[in-house]
Amino acid sequence: LRMSYALNVIQDQQKRFSKIIASTRYFHWSLSGRSRKSACSDRCDVFDRSELPEEEADVIVFHFRNLHWDMNMPLPKMRRPDQIYVSFLKEAPAHAGSPIKDFQFATNFFNATVDYRINNFTYSDQSFFTPVVTEEDRKQMRPLSEEDFNEIIKRKTNHVLAIISNCDDKSGRLKYISELSKLINVTKTGWCYGRRISAERQEELIKSHFFVIAFENIACKDYATEKFWRIEKDIVPIVLRRWILKPKARIEQVHQCDKDRWLLWKTNISRERGGVN
């Protein structure tokens, strides 16, 4: 069952606060801390597993990747019949390890999921866009002035950035990048290119490049790599598939590279750096 089942059950319990336990971490971060800040309404509260006995929780959330990493993590010993166990995953399952097989979970161990599929009643992507629909929304925005824009463009002295650290490449993105490198300058870094890169260095590279490769390592319905969301940092993502944004908002890779078109684009962007908007 999807998260809609979990929400329906929780709604039936509105007379009391719903208690949610984050049984795992979110990679190396606290999952409960992230949820407290962004996700939970005033009808619920989120705890680490050390802060609340598991039998008192209404919902227990497991980050799928951390189940794979920490094979010695103890699972709950007791479970109430009305408890909801949630599998939480923002990535394609094919690249999330194999905890179900390794742990040998009982049938129906999870009875709700939260993931990136859009048709979920509740889904969780790497990030999201918020529409500006009210005057209050507009007041909270800081418009980008022409001076700000020119300052951003001035820092961009390189063409395309590729930061790739997962070398398991079912989508063929490494081949695409190799072909693209024959047509235009591509800065290649990350584990797959033999270069570890710090978060600080990533920020520097993003500021100095016009475009970033945002190719998924596997093509799954509705899945978009976290690399796409570098769009929030004044860089344009080049994507494999056209589905998140309107066509003019980013460049889409095509299977047959048009060499003349790329060379023309390279010439134009080099001559007129203000042409990016």
Each residue's pLDDT expressed in tens, for the chain with a length of 277 residues: 334 444 444 444 444 448 888 887 766 667 665 554 454 555 667 788 888 888 888 888 888 777 776 666 778 888 888 888 888 877 776 666 665 556 667 778 888 877 777 666 565 555 545 555 566 666 666 666 788 878 888 889 998 999 888 887 777 888 888 988 888 889 999 989 988 889 899 889 989 998 888 877 766 676 666 666 666 678 888 877 655 554 555 444 443 345 455 545 554 555 455 444 4
- Looking at the structure, give the CATH architecture of the domain made up of residues 144-271: 3-Layer(aba) Sandwich (3.40)
Write the CATH number of the domain with boundaries 3-114.
Answer: 3.40.50
> Residues spanned by CATH 3.40.50.11660 within the chain?
144-271
Q: Which residues pair with 160 in a beta bridge?
A: 186, 211
Annotate 42-82 with DSSP letters as a single string. TTEEEEETTTS-GGG-SEEEEEHHHHHH-TTPPPPS---TT
Strand partners, 59: 20, 84
Tell me the CB-side half-sphere exposure of residue 117, using CA atoms within 13 A.
14
Q: In whole angstroms, what is the distance from residue 178 CA to residue 183 CA?
A: 9
**Side chain identity at 201, as an amino acid letter?**
R
